[in-house]
């Protein structure tokens, strides 16, 4: 698998589920990262082929929730992002999922308290020996590529040493978010620091953190050039309007929301996740009359109705109810 010259959907908790990933691919993304999934959640999940949806699901049997849902059309392009601080657990998860995803990424950049307290995410940036063990174990034990997503360390030489260590361990690519772990999205992304590190590495670097300067396809190429790399990864710019990946130009937001909702219905996405995604797309439009009605909507059907997809949603949901009735009556093939 080649990580050079790619436009990539970045990992986003809650947002990076199957509908957004499929839409990003449809609009031209080359690779899509799933939201960060914590190792033990995947470990205790059960793999099920969902014939009704045409998906592969990893289900938490304690409450029936879907931990990870994927389908064959994304298998060669989806990267599973893992939150982990433990090599054995990471390897067990990797073996469990390696036939269903194209690569596995380890999150080494998340600054949230949950990650740091658990020794995961950005906590790993100060534990190179632990990282060495995790990455070496995965690279030696897995048949698919392993990547890492990091943030900048305070000094250039520290970031470079950390990346060289990752390179030595055999990662296939390194995603670099050009901010320190203490910095927030409003701080400027240090594109020059990404370029300075990338220059000294052999492994492909995927630049990240440029969304504030990206509002059309050409901006993606400007960001790529500013970071001196061939691959870039977008989070917020893609969440705001995922058609940003279209070479032919960005589409009107309503068209994108309609396509997103169709996929959300088709893949039986939860109302919580669908609402979160559409809300992130609407941004200031939440203040419009439709935006306010959207905020009050409590079901996927109610949300769909606001974009004239009420019948579409009811028909699919009804068909699914009939099919599951037939399955439970033993009538399905």
Helix, strand, coil fractions of the chain, as percent rounded to 5: 50, 15, 35
The single-letter DSSP state of residue 284 is G
Q: Measuring CA to CA, how many Å separate 203 from each of 147, 151, 256, 268, 287?
A: 10, 16, 34, 38, 45
- CA–CA distance, 295 with 291 (Å, rounded to integer): 6
- CA–CA distance, 236 with 253 (Å, rounded to integer): 14
Choose the catalytic residue: 110, 163, 227, 313. Answer: 110
Residue 60 parent element (H or E): strand 55-60
Q: In degrees rounded to 5, what are phi and psi of residue 232?
A: -135, 155
Shortest gap between Cβ of 308 and ligand FNR (angstroms)?
A: 27
Using the contact rule CB under 6 A, the part of the chain among 159-167, 203-211, 247-255, 319-327 near ligand FNR is 203-211
Using the contact rule CB under 6 A, the part of the chain among 7-15, 40-48, 57-65, 92-100 near ligand FNR is 7-15
Q: Which of 6, 21, 69, 177 binds ligand FNR (CB under 6 A)?
A: 177
Interface with ligand FNR, residue 13, by CB under 6 A: yes
Interface with ligand FNR, residue 6, by CB under 6 A: no
Report whether 79 contacts 31 (CB < 8 A). yes
Shortest gap between Cβ of 324 and ligand FNR (angstroms)?
A: 31
Using the contact rule CB under 6 A, the part of the chain among 48-56, 107-115, 135-143, 242-250 near ligand FNR is 107-115
Interface with ligand FNR, residue 19, by CB under 6 A: no
Shortest gap between Cβ of 7 and ligand FNR (angstroms)?
A: 12
The single-letter DSSP state of residue 252 is P
- CA–CA distance, 136 with 16 (Å, rounded to integer): 27
Cβ neighbours for 333, distance < 8 A, ≥ 6 positions apart: none
Catalytic, 110? Answer yes
Q: Which of 237, 242, 263, 264 binds ligand FNR (CB under 6 A)?
A: 237
Using the contact rule CB under 6 A, the part of the chain among 44-52, 129-137, 234-242, 248-256 near ligand FNR is 234-242
Interface with ligand FNR, residue 110, by CB under 6 A: yes
Residue number with CB closer to ligand FNR (134 or 313): 134
Q: Which of 74, 209, 224, 241 binds ligand FNR (CB under 6 A)?
A: 209
Cβ neighbours for 60, distance < 8 A, ≥ 6 positions apart: 41, 44, 45, 66, 67
Residues acting as catalytic residues: 110
């Amino acid at each position: 698998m080649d990580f050079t010259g790619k436009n990539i959907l970045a990992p986003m908790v809650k947002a990076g589920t199957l509908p957004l990933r499929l839409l990003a691919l449809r609009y031209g993304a080359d690779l899509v990262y799933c939201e960060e999934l914590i190792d033990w959640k995947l470990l205790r999940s059960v793999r099920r082929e969902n014939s009704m949806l045409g998906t592969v699901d990893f289900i938490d049997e304690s409450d029936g929730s879907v931990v990870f849902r994927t389908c064959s059309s994304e298998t060669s392009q989806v990267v599973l992002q893992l939150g982990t601080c433990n090599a054995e657990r990471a390897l067990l998860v990797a073996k469990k999922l390696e036939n269903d995803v194209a690569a596995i990424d380890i999150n080494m950049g998340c600054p949230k308290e949950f990650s740091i307290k658990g020794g995961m995410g950005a906590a790993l940036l100060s534990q190179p020996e632990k990282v060495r063990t995790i990455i070496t174990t995965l690279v030696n034990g897995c048949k698919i590529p392993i990547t890492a997503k990091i943030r900048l360390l305070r000094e250039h030489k520290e970031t470079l040493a950390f990346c060289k260590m990752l390179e030595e361990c055999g990662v296939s690519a390194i995603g670099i978010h050009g901010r320190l772990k203490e910095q927030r999205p409003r701080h400027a992304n240090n594109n020059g620091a990404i370029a300075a590190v990338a220059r000294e590495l052999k492994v492909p670097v995927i630049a990240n953190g440029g969304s504030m300067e990206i509002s059309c396809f050409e901006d993606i190429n400007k960001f790529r050039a500013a970071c001196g790399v061939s691959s870039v990864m977008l989070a917020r710019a893609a969440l705001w309007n995922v058609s940003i990946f279209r070479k032919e130009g960005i589409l009107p937001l309503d068209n994108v929301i309609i396509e997103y909702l169709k996929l959300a219905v088709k893949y039986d996405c939860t109302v919580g996740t669908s609402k979160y995604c559409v809300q992130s797309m609407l941004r200031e439009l939440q203040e419009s009359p439709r935006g306010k009605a959207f905020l009050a909507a409590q079901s996927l059907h109610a949300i769909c109705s606001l974009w004239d997809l009420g019948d579409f949603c009811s028909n699919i949901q009804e068909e699914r109810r009939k099919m599951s009735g037939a399955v439970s009556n033993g009538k399905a093939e």
